Structure 1
Amino acid sequence: MPKCSVRSGKRPPTETRRVMLDALGELLERKAPWDVRASDVAAASGTTQPNFYSHFRNIEDAILARSQQVWASYPRAQLAACLEEGLGGGSLRALEGFFALTVEFWTAHGGLLRAVSRLSGDDHPSLRGFRHQAQDPLIERCAVAIREAQECGALPGLLHPVLAANAALRFLDEAASHYRVIREAGEFSGDDISVTVTLQFRSLLCGTSSEGL
């Protein structure tokens, strides 16, 4: 059970809403989104089903609200620093740090993030807004690296830098979202996964040159 199980009669509405969203996030780490009901969230947060509906239209509405919270917690500044060091200075270790931070984010919130995609699809306008606000500065920096690689012939000139940057970042997110499953399978070590994904990510942004690694 989620930690928040005290009845919410004396909580202010904003606190009740926060507790319900926290409980929803924990439930989605253990259940598929279609298996989570308003009654489950109410019970897990110590409130009532009518109270849930006083805050959210339905479960999808609550999942999107939780998604907004999660993307607001995205470690953008730390990721940007790792990315700049990795691309500007050619540091593989810095890019491994970028991947490690992304793995931490997906490990903490993967259930919720996958639930959003399953319920609404990645094309949901609200989701696009949350994700783009969090990741746009990183995509812009990746696009700069791609343009530089195109100028020196390391990447094809036909690539659209922003689209290619977006695809590279999605690749890294996808790898991070499956990191725990791959690691628990036991065939590959954490170092195997980190180095392989990091090198592939760098090649998507900078071409196949090994300079600086």
Structure 2
Amino acid sequence: MRTVDGRVAGRRGQATRQKLLDCLSEMLSSSPYRDVKVIDVARRAGTSPATFYQYFPDVESAVLEIADQMASEGAALAELLEGRSWVGRAGWQTAQELVEGFLEFWRANDAILRVIDLGAAEGDKRFAKIRARILNPVISSLADSVAELQSKGRVDKDVNPAAIAGSLVAMLAAVASHQKGFGVKQADLKPNLALLVFLGVTGRKPTR
């Protein structure tokens, strides 16, 4: 790990850098992204703006670092589909666990995901790439599941697996990012969202 000027950061420097990132993450939970200033992050971390600039050229660079770390954790979403069945009760379980995984991931990373969505919506390719790193592996796995069901005659041949998968994942991400604003209890949201996912993948009602 190197500083902005190319020096290798020692153990203490790495700890300081991580503390700055942790403090920034906390601030993003309560303050709009563009209202966060270097001096505020440094003060919260118990250090100086000069120290912040040793590790990051600006707040946006630090935000992208946090987003990159979070995107790596997002690989767990695609793992929810690996080797899973979409047939019968096992398929219903797969849909439920995928929904639960999305909702939990967004709850745990709500602040930084809001920044990523904002940046991507404004056309910032850096944020768009991070969003794609999170969602594309899930889309790919889900499309493979639809294609497999299609090859076995369980899904209509006219269905486009990639289009179905992309639409379902976009729906999951949208609902997960707005789950606090639906006015619907989690106990009701989860099974109904899982139902939509299962119907979208299989074209059938689930066996519960």
Q: TM range, normalised to the smaller chain?
A: 0.7 to 0.9
**CA deviation digits over 1:98-135, x for unaligned, max 9?**
22222221111111111122235485444444444444
SS in 2 for 1:87: coil
**Secondary structure of 1:27's match?**
helix
Structure 2, unpaired ranges of 5+: 1-9
- Partner residue, 2:93: 93
Question: Separation in 2 of the partners of 1:42 and 1:145?
Answer: 47
Q: Where does 1:136-175 land on structure 2 (aligned, <5 Å)?
A: 136-148=136-148, 150=150, 152=153, 154=155, 157=158, 159=160, 161-175=161-175
CA displacement, residues 45-101 of structure 1 (integer Å, 9 cap, x when unaligned): 111112212222222111111001111222617x52456435255432332222222
CA distance, structure 2, for counterparts of residue 180 and residue 86 of structure 1: 30
For 1:195, the aligned partner's letter is: P
Task: Give the Cα separation in 2 of the matches to 1:96 and 1:122.
Answer: 32
- Describe how 1:101-112 pairs up with structure 2 within 5 A: 101-112=101-112
1:63 and 1:116 in contact (8 A); partners too: no
Q: 1:201 aligns with which of 173, 184, 197?
A: 197
Q: TM-score, normalised by structure 1?
A: 0.77
Partner AA of 2:73 in structure 1: S
CA distance in 2 between partners of 1:149 and 1:156 (Å): 10
Q: In structure 1, the residue corresponding to 2:99 is in which secondary structure?
A: helix
**Residue 149 (structure 1) shift:** 5.3
2:24 is matched with which residue?
24
Residue 5 of structure 1 corresponds to none
Deviates more, 1:83-92 or 1:113-122: 83-92
Matched, 1:34 2:29: no
Structure 1 residue matching 2:205: 3-state secondary structure: coil
Instruction: Please tell me whether the aligned partners of residues 150 and 157 of structure 2 are also in contact (alpha carbons under 8 angstroms).
Output: yes
Question: Whole-Å Cα distance in 2 between the matches of residues 86 and 26 of structure 1?
Answer: 39
Report what 2:6 is aligned to: none
- TM-score, length of structure 2 as denominator length: 0.79
Question: Aligned residue pairs: how many?
Answer: 197
Aligned to 1:6: none
Residue segments in structure 1 that go unaligned for 5+ positions in a row: 1-9
Query: Counterparts of 1:59 and 1:120 in 2: how far apart (Å)?
Result: 17
Check whether the contact 1:71–1:131 (CA below 8 A) recurs between aligned residues: yes
Q: What fraction of aligned residue pairs are identical, expressed as a percent?
A: 22
Superposed CA RMSD in Å reads 2.9
Amino acid at match of 1:85: R
Cα separation, partners in 2 of 1:121 and 1:58, compared to 1, 3 Å: farther
